[in-house]
Structure 1
């Protein structure tokens, strides 16, 4: 691999670090950030680590008007032996380039991105919290910066990485959450941008999430855009059901984000010889499983929450209680093993972690 020069400017004033026992999610940011520019004809250039600071953009920068942006989410952990671990970062940069392709953004060099990430994490490693359930959340993103109001792909971009020490994504922590099945709005359609990690997908989900919150639910369960019956995602996570001993998750169909935690869970289930199916599953099938007593567990997966057990669904006027609103044995086992691999307390037999 060719050398990848990164200019480093250290901050002159270090920030006060938050209490690691009271961390929220994505509210406090580390001392430094990574920035790299793209110019048509020149490619990606001017890689630099600099003090965390506001960015200055022209009001006509295309990201503001046409939403040409993508992002990723990953985490860093400190082990009991003071090693810093990343979890499958190469998959995140692969997915970032998949999103780039869908959003007409130039791809990045994934190896160079990993070099930059390692250097940034190493510089701000004192920000990685050590309390149980905490981590350093990492947010790489790309924005279109060309000042132009024509509807076209931008000719200029910035690739930025920022980092934030975080606790649990949901206030419930690992306690089961309540989910509202969304019947009016849809998250994405096949052929759209659902499988890309782009900001517009999340902006369009806010209305339904707001309505769900008013009813006391943590998130919405999205159904397909055509028949409004097949399950796709839950909030910003992939979803799994354990029905009559078999774990079922919706198959990737072009409108579902290919989650890296989802993929990790599938590998873990297969390694334990637990029956798994990736296929279409309707909300009616889940209701039927509840009514005949075979709906055993349900959980969401994603980088932010890792695994979030689901204790209740509301579908129309029907309340569906899962495992007496308690975390299931399989869900707990998967959570313990995955987080154990991530923080170095369990042997990584899958070769997923990267030591900095």
Structure 2
């Protein structure tokens, strides 16, 4: 890790913590935020001195380009605490690499690794008491970048703000989830920004998802924009299908996000000797597998949810329920992944990153 001695982090601590006001046993995801946030501005062609300040509103011009041209990207990651009160991140360098990949697609300058890693460590140490031990408990971390230049000319901004905010979290999804295979709307298209965590990708999902929810489904499995014949992602998650004992998932592309949880599960599954096929997965084959009983599981994978089992799906007016398994790939993979994240087993992959106090 490169040194940050030329640009030390400026820290301003809060004078009054909100910690005692939070009911950690009854959290709504993404609603409660910790006492501090990380802020770093880009201007005059370079990133300025990073700061950590009390969490609070920011002031921006109404003409800031983020409001008009959508130059905004973000990441999602988590911090975990073990029973020894040690704090760990999961593959944080991958998150930095991905936000910079997203930023490049949106003409936003890359953020320095040293600023990110040291800033994140300083922020987590300040708000360490917000991270609770125990399976299911975590601190959700949201790094993001927005365009801040004032002006409505249709051109990239010359100034940006990189921020990190944090929210304590329990399990993200609860209960059974049924999904609808998309037949009309698309999440992304060839040559577009589907592989980037651009803010607009997610805003564009809300309307089609609301239509699915009106039909009794909780989420959509997105299909390819050209033909709607191939299954690609589920809501904000990568998607896996288990047909008999084979695990199927779509390959990443310029339409599909390179999910960190996704590639971790592929590695774990392969190491367990499971046949993993990374290839286009057709609607037709999954519908047929559901009809003949060979479709055993569908589950989504992502940072917020970790792994989210899907109990059934709808397509062209038909609904298909999946079997309830005593020992599922989804549950086994989740246990394995969480054991690494919470430091209850060895990490053979080097994914776990300890936050030094």
Q: Secondary structure at the match of 2:40?
A: strand
2:79 equivalent to 1:76: yes
Which residue in the other structure is 1:161 paired with? 164
2:200 equivalent to 1:203: no
Counterpart-to-counterpart distance in 2, 1:110 and 1:70: 17
Which residue in the other structure is 1:136 paired with? 139
Taking only aligned residues, the RMSD between alpha carbons, in angstroms, comes to 1.2
Which residue in the other structure is 1:91 paired with? 94
2:337 equivalent to 1:338: yes
| Structure 2, unpaired ranges of 5+ | none
Counterpart-to-counterpart distance in 2, 1:193 and 1:304: 21
Counterpart-to-counterpart distance in 1, 2:28 and 2:339: 21
Q: Secondary structure at the match of 1:46?
A: coil
Please give the residue correspondences for 1:48-127 in structure 2 after superposition, counting only pairs within 5 Å.
48-127=51-130
Q: Secondary structure at the match of 2:140?
A: strand
Q: Secondary structure at the match of 2:256?
A: coil
Of 31, 34, 38, the residue aligned with 2:35 is 31
Please give the residue correspondences for 1:311-326 in structure 2 after superposition, counting only pairs within 5 Å.
311-324=311-324
Contact 1:240-1:298 at 8 Å conserved across structures: yes
Report the Cα offset of residue 208 of structure 1. 1.1
Deviation readout 1:223-248 (Å, 9 max, x if unpaired): 00001111110000000011121100
Contact 1:127-1:136 at 8 Å conserved across structures: yes
Counterpart-to-counterpart distance in 2, 1:268 and 1:350: 10
Counterpart-to-counterpart distance in 2, 1:275 and 1:188: 28
TM-score, structure 2 normalization: 0.96
Contact 1:309-1:327 at 8 Å conserved across structures: no
Which residue in the other structure is 2:295 paired with? 295
Report the Cα offset of residue 216 of structure 1. 2.4
Counterpart-to-counterpart distance in 2, 1:25 and 1:300: 18
Counterpart-to-counterpart distance in 2, 1:17 and 1:262: 35
2:50 equivalent to 1:47: yes
2:260 equivalent to 1:257: no
Task: Report the CA distance shift for 1:63/1:288 in structure 2 as closer, same or farther (over 3 A).
Answer: same
Which residue in the other structure is 2:267 paired with? 267
Please give the residue correspondences for 1:157-306 in structure 2 after superposition, counting only pairs within 5 Å.
157-172=160-175, 176-306=176-306
Deviation readout 1:244-271 (Å, 9 max, x if unpaired): 2110000112100110000100110111
| Structure 1, unpaired ranges of 5+ | none
Deviation readout 1:108-143 (Å, 9 max, x if unpaired): 112320110011001100001234312100000000
Contact 2:81-2:134 at 8 Å conserved across structures: no
Counterpart-to-counterpart distance in 1, 2:165 and 2:249: 31
Contact 1:299-1:308 at 8 Å conserved across structures: yes
Which residue in the other structure is 2:150 paired with? 147
Moved over 3 A (4+): none
Which residue in the other structure is 1:354 paired with? 353
Contact 1:311-1:327 at 8 Å conserved across structures: no
Counterpart-to-counterpart distance in 2, 1:168 and 1:327: 21
State how many pairs are aligned: 351
Q: Secondary structure at the match of 1:70?
A: strand
